[in-house]
Structure 1
Amino acid sequence: MSVTVPQTELQPGLSGTRAALRRNFWRGVARVLRRKPSRMVGVAIVALFLLMAAFGPMLYPAHLPRDNNALYAPPSLAHPFGTDFEGTDVLALVVTGARYVILTGLVTAVITVAAGTLLGLLAGFHRGRWDTALMRLTDLQLTIPGLPLLLVLSTVWKFQGPLAMGLVLGLLGWGGIARAVRSQTLSLRERGFIEAARGLGLSTTHIIGRELLPSMAPYIAMNMLIAVTGAIYAQVGLFFLGVLPFDSNNWGVMLNLAVFGGGALTSAAALPYLLAPLLAILLLTLGIVLVVDAMDEIFNPRLREE
């Protein structure tokens, strides 16, 4: 005689198991972060820049004040990084310019990872015609030269904000992730738990969303952080080269004006104006690298055992 357990009795136990798993996971995260103080520093740096991007512009007026009597003023208590060629506080420019840079990086990373993961999963799971068609599309995307295309686009499209900038950079950067996710999917689809799911008649959507995707979540998360770094370098470099119009303040615009407008490479007075955005980029990159290092140990059982 079979005994049917009411769903109301199963649900509390299942919820309790999931809650225990979540608690153990976050305890493991805290333990990994505490193991190396540098990882805590990385988390603090990334959090600081996120807060700067979210709330920094609220600390300053829409139009930053200028002081014609303090052009390229040296660093002081009033101006920790000095002033620029218009007498504007350089620290204020770094803080207010962080939103554009970080928002563009996040939008780029989301689009890059979402498109690459989706196409890689579909190609690797279905194989056959799906795989051939999607990989030919990926190969075509990988052959598109990014910089020349951006140069052409900049003549007809003004990239009015970080969302537009992130969209273009994201659509130009998903090919590598698509190929990597496809390789991971081809490996995982032959595992026992995927075969069991197919044997149970579960839908393709369920297998991809509930079985394959969680298994690759750590890899995808680390690629998202790396994509943020790549997007920051790309957009700052484009603004520095003067390819894009200076419609808003950001770190790339500061570098361009410091080098080509202020002569920072030949004049010591303009040097703080050049070093401030460089320091911001360096610190943010360092923070992301330290967080990726922590994530590698969190999601890699062999590293945790060591």
Structure 2
Amino acid sequence: MTDDTVPDGGREHESSPLDELAMQSSAESSVSNRQILSRILDNYVFAPVRILWSDWRARIGSMIVLLYVLMGTVGVALMDHPSANAGPRYLQPFETMEYPLGTDTFGEGLLAQTVHATPAMLEMIIAGAVFATVVATVLGSVAGFKGGEIDRAIMTIADVGMTIPGLPLVIVLATMIEPSEPYMVGLILAIDNWPGLTRSVRSQVLSVREENFIESSRTMGLSTSTIIKDDIVPDIMPYVSVHFVMSARGIIFESVGLYFLGILPFTNLNWGVTLNLAYTTSGALYTWETAHWLFVPMFTIVLLSLGLILLSQGLDRVFNPRIRAKHVKSVVKDDTDEGADEVSPMADIGGK
């Protein structure tokens, strides 16, 4: 009898064909999972980045919006909160590096005011624009796809909302509620934004609901929610994304205007509050010495609005399936190509 024991007294294990098959299956599953993850990242992350980067307008718009996001996060953490009498009064821009945008009548740095007002503005944009866009997209899609009584009921509500003067309604609500949280301010400002977008989305859905791919989904017996989520909404996303940006710009202008007029309470730093103080306390509109107090928040508002407009032009291309397909780099290899190098999802991020 041959001695096939190992030094510790046990018997040496011989791998069976089933063990080898299981190991091979596990390795193939691991490779397949990596390929699936690579395709998901490429389709939903890297390809949109390539599309935005290939368009100079979208590239500039993305950089501007990213600048404001960094101001509202990193900038707030690095820069001290503005305080009265921290510096000389009416210091002009670029006179000192400590106050690069100058100071106001209270000796507060305008750069610090601008940076610390950014988080509240971003929160208002997120709350208001997302609320109006989501509500309008859902109601408009359901109304356009279902038709009948549901369509008439939703459109009646939207028409009633469109007949109510938006600005007086916002002023009354702001006066009654006196919101202090930026998210609540954004929701109030978005109340008059969704009815018009709902009707516009409905019109877009009416134009696509008779397409062949929608009829195919109906024939397959898919539910209404599935068809709207998987077929209709992706098809109208370019239109929705543009209106989302327009709604965000509306939130910016309305909030600044209401803060400037003193209708919204001065509980948060806001570019409209800065404009109000510049106009009422120093006559910055008529005096060149204090004119920078007006120009700084005005330039901040205009630059963010410009960035959103340029970004919206790129988002239209991001949601175009043909353009996205041209920018997808990673592919799943066939069995005949096993072992070949895959194209990296990050390759040619700036190429077309």
The normalised TM-score by structure 2 is 0.77
Identity of aligned residues (%): 37
Correspondences of 1:1-306 after superposition (within 5 Å): 16=35, 19-20=38-39, 23=42, 28-62=47-81, 64-67=82-85, 70-75=88-93, 76=95, 77-300=97-320
For the 8 Å contact 2:241–2:316, the answer to whether it is kept is no
Shift of 1:14: 10
Shift of 1:19: 4.7
Instruction: Flag the 1:287–1:162 CA change in 2: closer, same or farther, 3 A.
Output: same
Deviations 1:271-304 (A, max 9, x none): 1111111111111111111111222233457999
For the 8 Å contact 2:237–2:319, the answer to whether it is kept is no
- Corresponding residue of 1:5: none
Shift of 1:216: 1.9
2:265 partner amino acid: P
For the 8 Å contact 1:105–1:166, the answer to whether it is kept is yes
For the 8 Å contact 1:102–1:232, the answer to whether it is kept is no
Query: Any idea what SS the aligned residue of 1:190 has?
Result: coil
* Equivalent-residue separation in structure 1 for 2:202 and 2:33 (angstroms): 32
2:260 partner amino acid: F
* Equivalent-residue separation in structure 1 for 2:235 and 2:184 (angstroms): 32
Q: Please tell me whether Structure 1 or Structure 2 has the larger radius of gyration of its CA atoms.
A: 2
1:46 partner amino acid: V
* Equivalent-residue separation in structure 2 for 1:69 and 1:26 (angstroms): 45
Q: Which moved more, 1:152-161 or 1:267-276?
A: 152-161
- Corresponding residue of 1:3: none
1:81 partner amino acid: L
For the 8 Å contact 2:173–2:188, the answer to whether it is kept is no
* Equivalent-residue separation in structure 2 for 1:13 and 1:206 (angstroms): 27
2:197 partner amino acid: I
* Equivalent-residue separation in structure 2 for 1:18 and 1:70 (angstroms): 56
Provide the alpha-carbon RMSD of the alignment: 2.8
Query: Any idea what SS the aligned residue of 1:171 has?
Result: coil
Shift of 1:46: 0.5
Query: Any idea what SS the aligned residue of 2:190 has?
Result: helix
1:253 partner amino acid: V
Instruction: Flag the 1:13–1:209 CA change in 2: closer, same or farther, 3 A.
Output: farther
The normalised TM-score by structure 1 is 0.87
Deviations 1:159-192 (A, max 9, x none): 1111110111122210121111111111221111
For the 8 Å contact 1:112–1:173, the answer to whether it is kept is yes
Deviations 1:43-86 (A, max 9, x none): 11100101212233222345x23227611122222211111111
Could you tell me which runs of 5 or more consecutive residues in structure 2 were left unpaired when the two chains were aligned. 1-25, 327-352
For the 8 Å contact 2:127–2:186, the answer to whether it is kept is yes
* Equivalent-residue separation in structure 2 for 1:298 and 1:99 (angstroms): 27
* Equivalent-residue separation in structure 1 for 2:223 and 2:55 (angstroms): 43
Q: Which moved more, 1:231-240 or 1:142-151?
A: 142-151
Query: Any idea what SS the aligned residue of 1:70 has?
Result: coil
Instruction: Flag the 1:186–1:247 CA change in 2: closer, same or farther, 3 A.
Output: same
Shift of 1:25: 6.5
Instruction: Flag the 1:73–1:14 CA change in 2: closer, same or farther, 3 A.
Output: closer
Instruction: Flag the 1:106–1:41 CA change in 2: closer, same or farther, 3 A.
Output: same
The structure carrying a bigger helix percent of its residues is 1
